[in-house]
Copies of this chain bind each other. A is one copy, B any other.
Amino acid sequence: MSRTEQNGAGRRRPPTIHDVAREAGVSRGTVSRVLNGGHNVSPAALEAVQSAIRRTGYTVNRHARSLITGRSDSVAFLLTEPQERFFEDPNFNVLLRGCTAALAAHDIPLLLMIAGTEAERRRNMRYIAGHVDGVLLVSSHSGDPVAAQLHEAGVPLVACGKPLGQGSRVSYVAADDRNGARDMVRFLHGSGRRRIATVTGPLDTPGGVDRLAGYRETLTECGLPVDEALIVPGDYSRAGGEAAAALLLERAPDVDAVFVASDLMAQGVLSTLERAGRRVPQDVAVGGFDDSPAALSARPELTTVRQPWDRISAEMVRVLLAQIGGEDPAAVILPTELVRRDSA
C-alpha cells in the first residue's frame, strides 16, 4: 500500500538527493560526490550510496544542478538553412542522427532548432544565450550572420562546413571538398572523357567554391583547357540540376561528362539528359557528390563522391564538447571517397 502510493500512478514527487542520503545513511554532500565522479568517497559509502540510488530509483534533477553550476548539459543543433533544402537533402538526416547518437553517449540531449525566418532566428538566439552549452551549426550560406553572432556572444560553436567569409576563429568540421572533386574529375578523365563539364553548387557556400576549385585544378593538371561554357551554376536542388543540364546541352552539345556538385542535382541532370536522348554513361558520364540515398535511387545508380557523414557528426560533437571543456577552436577536414556505380 505504501509502496503503491510511492511508485504507482499517484505520481508522488520523485526522490531527491536527501532521500538517497537518508537511505544510505550518509549526508547530501557524500551523495553529491558520488554523483560527480566519486572522488574522496570511501568504498563503503560509495557502495551504500549506489545501492540507495538503485533502490529509490533516484535521478538527478538537472534543473537544480544547472541552476547552481551554470551549465545546462544540453546542446543545440541549429539549422539556419532555408527549409526547402532541409527537406530535400537526405544528408541532414544522417548528420542529425549521428549528432544525436554521439551526444547521447555523453548523456547530453540535443535541442533541435530551425531558424528559417527572421523571427525564428531571433527567438533561437535568445534561447541559446544562457540555456545551452554549445551549438552545432548547420548553415552554409556566407550571408548568414548567425555564426558570427554566436561566436561573438562567446557561445561554444562548431559549424558543419567551413563558414565562408568571416575570418574569425570558429570551429568547423568539413569533408575535403576540393580533393573529392579532384578525385572525380581525375576519374572521368581517366576513363577517356575530354569534354568534362561541371554543375556547381551555390558559389556562396564553401562546398560550391571548393568543388569548383578542385574541378578547375584537375582539368589544368590533366592538360585540358578550362572552358567557361562547361561551367554551369547550380543550387543543390533537383530542379536546379535539370535546368543546368538543359543550359549545358545548349552551350556545349559535345559534352561527354558532367561532374555535378550534389547527388540531388545529378538526379536532375540525369533526367534532362534522358529526355534529350543521351545515354548515360555511354554518351555522357555523370558524377555526383555526397553519396546520399539519392545516389542509389537514381537511374542509373550514381557514381559519386562519398562524404563521411558519420565521421563528420562524430567529430562535430567531439570538437564541441572539447570546446565547452575549455579547449581552443579547431578545424577538422575529413577525407572523401570515390564510389563507383553505373553513371560513369
Contacts and interface: CB of A to CB of B under 8 A. Distances in A.
Contacts of A42: none
A130 B93 contact: no
Interface stretch (A44-52, A62-70, A176-184, A315-323): A62-70
Interface string A65-86: 0110000101001000001001
Contacts of A59: 126, 129-130
A74 to B, nearest CB: 8
Task: Report the copy number of this chain in the oligomer.
Answer: 2
A9 B154 CA distance: 7
A336 interface: no
B93 A97 contact: no
Contacts of A127: 107, 109
A146 interface: no
Interface stretch (A162-170, A187-195, A198-206, A292-300): A292-300
Contacts of A74: 111
- Residue among A67, A92, A123 with most chain B CB within 10 A: A67
A101 interface: yes
Nearest to A109: B111
Given A59-B129, A112-B112, 11 more contacts: A59-B126, A63-B64, A86-B97, A87-B90, A87-B93, A87-B97, A87-B293, A92-B93, A110-B112, A267-B297, A297-B297
Interface of A: 9, 11, 14, 59, 61-64, 66-67, 72, 74, 77, 83, 86-88, 90, 92-94, 96-97, 100-101, 104, 107, 109-114, 120, 123-124, 126-127, 129-131, 152, 154, 238, 267, 271, 274, 293-294, 296-297, 299
25 contacts: A14-B130, A59-B129, A62-B131, A63-B67, A67-B67, A74-B111, A77-B112, A86-B97, A87-B94, A87-B293, A90-B90, A93-B93, A101-B114, A104-B113, A104-B120, A107-B127, A110-B112, A110-B113, A111-B112, A112-B112, A267-B297, A271-B299, A274-B299, A294-B297, A299-B299
